[in-house]
Amino acid sequence: MAGYFIAYHTYGKFLARKIFKLDPLAVCPSTALQDNHDFVPTKKEILFGHHFTSIAGLGPIVGPAIGIIWGWIPAAIWVFFGSIFFGAVHDFGALVVSLRANGRSIGDLAADIVNNRVRTLFLLIICFELWIVIAVFALIIAILFCMYPQAVIPVWLEIVIAFYLGHMIYKQGKDAFWPSIVAVLIMYATVIIGAYLPVDFKVIFGMSAKSALIAWIIIVLVLNAWLASILPVHTLLQPRDFINSHQLVIGMAMLVLGVIIANPDIVAPATNFTAKGAPPVWPFIFVVIACGAISGFHSLVSSGTSSKQCEKEANSLFIGYGGMLMEGALSTLVLVAVAGGIGLGLAGKGGQIFTGVAAFEYHYVSWGAAAGLGSKLGAFVQGSANMIQSYGIPARVAIAIMAVFIVSFAATTVDTATRIQRYVIVELSSAWNFKPLCRRQEATAFAVISAALLAFYDGSGKGALKLWPLFGSVNQLLAGLALLVTTIYLARRQVKILYTAIPMVFMIVMTGWAMILNIQKFYITSNWLLLSVGLAVFLLELWMIIESVVVLKEVCGNSLGMPETVS
């Protein structure tokens, strides 16, 4: 935690002053293009809440929870140094570049920075990623509601609380601080209610497990994905994310207190490079642990929703760089929960309780055993609940608190991803002059319906999982591509590119390597769907990289510099 604090006030501020050269007097798109729907000037603490909860989602939880199978040392090193020198630079850069280009997405403004072909390639890759994200995260929320029915009441009542909080702040002109505190207190009251009044469709309506899952997916796509994307950003998205940011701070404080009081022994191995069935730690740790260190999805949030709400250019340091460091801190606590917390007690399938090293070895007996969604989330929820119980919180309430914590972040990811997908669809349609999808309602409908088709094409709601093995590599390559665009932007402004170029080269090489290994695996196992889709995406990315490198070489080789194309 001390390291993150120091990094923000040294390296972060250095980037702000010397590399991105933030201008406190610059007029941001939120003011210049204010429409009180997408472009809304927002106080930095409120926008920080939206930005952080959007980039976090379940990424900083599931990544470390599975990556620790290689040992806590490599996981902790990548989370710490990756978030400071890779992820935070990536998020900050994408936000600044978008702020200076009328809030356009990192994919769309690639046309100005590189060329029109690269823009099309980039937007297609982004569309593919968001298509998977919306469908899979709707499924994840549905699974979580089935796993933890005590989270249902708090999560849905949070929408009502958020509506009223937004009304008080923007319609009645109230200061955000005290109303948000009251909102969080009410929400935790609903958590206690939910702990004792779980909403289980299988019990209430007599549904089968499959029917309950499908019902929740439909509800999430309609009320989360569609509603949050179509409403003005300050009506639901901002206030709910602001509440979730408070929930995050409280949750992290509870975990820190649990670490101090429970004082769990670390039961995970320091290194374990021969884990049964696991792929090689190098390069796959850089793909598995994404959001806690660096994630391409973050560039979509930075240049998608956050840049349209940022009130002052100077605030981008706190939001972009600071938000990523906060996520690194969360991932660190996740590592503690799964490396030590589960050692305090983990229930096996037969009801047997495992403690100490035996608990870790039982849960992480092999890559296959630890790779499932339930296993990833279950390790964190149980380990965190164990530590929280150490100071008197009942087990039932502790489980409910952590369940609501992860469902809330997953819901935020669905909301933001759908909104960003709408922006990308509009940008693509405008570039191709396809007017039917250039409007808000139509683009949103296309985003939600296409995600639903992916989810239900096999009738189970789990259709997107067929493509999920591609997501990690595509997402991390997207991070490298976003850094590539930012690097060319800096080169055109005749600014030192070293600080973005190094992480850019590293991410493209490592994740490209992982993608090639995955494609080889798909071929060997005759998985023709993943092989064809993965190969197509990889070739698109390779094409974009080649075109961008040619432009970068021309820009860097021009001693006089090229005229700026992005003001």
What is the pTM for the complete model shown?
0.90
Residue 567 lies in a domain: no
Q: 353 pairs with which residues across the strands?
A: 347
The pLDDT of residue 373: 58
**Containing structural domain, residue 198:** 2-557
Cis before 60? omega within 30: no
Residue 271 lies in a domain: yes
Residue 303 lies in a domain: yes
The pLDDT of residue 354: 85
354 phi and psi, to 5 degrees? -100, 140
What is the CATH number for 186?
1.10.4160
Q: What is the DSSP string of 429-463?
A: HHHTT-GGGSSHHHHHHHHHHHHHHHHHTTSSS-G
All residues at 6 or more sequence positions from 154 whose CB lies less than 8 Å from its CB, including other chains = 187, 190, 191, 193, 194, 400, 404
Number of domains in the chain: 1
All residues at 6 or more sequence positions from 186 whose CB lies less than 8 Å from its CB, including other chains = 161
Helix or strand or coil: residue 346?
A: strand
Buried-state track 77-97, b at ≥16 Cβ within 10 A, e below 16? ebbbebbbbbbbbbbbbbbbb
Residue 251 lies in a domain: yes
The pLDDT of residue 564: 43
Residue 565 lies in a domain: no
Residue 348 lies in a domain: yes
Cα-Cα-Cα-Cα dihedral sign, residues 159, 453, 473, 342? positive
Helix or strand or coil: residue 351?
A: coil
Residue 566 lies in a domain: no
- Kindly give the confidence (pLDDT) of every residue in the chain, 567 residues in length, as a single tens digit, with 9 standing for 90 and above: 999 999 999 999 999 999 999 999 999 999 999 999 999 999 999 999 889 988 887 788 888 988 999 999 999 999 999 999 999 999 999 999 999 999 999 999 888 888 888 888 889 889 999 999 999 889 889 988 998 899 999 999 998 999 999 888 888 888 878 888 899 899 999 999 999 999 999 999 999 999 999 999 999 999 888 988 888 888 888 888 888 888 888 888 988 999 999 989 999 999 999 888 889 999 999 999 998 899 999 999 999 999 999 999 999 999 999 999 999 999 999 999 889 988 888 877 777 888 889 988 888 887 876 555 556 677 788 888 888 888 888 888 888 888 888 888 888 888 889 999 999 999 999 888 888 898 888 999 999 999 999 999 888 888 888 888 888 888 998 999 999 999 999 999 999 999 999 999 999 999 999 999 999 999 999 999 889 988 988 898 888 889 888 888 888 876 344 444 444
The pLDDT of residue 167: 87
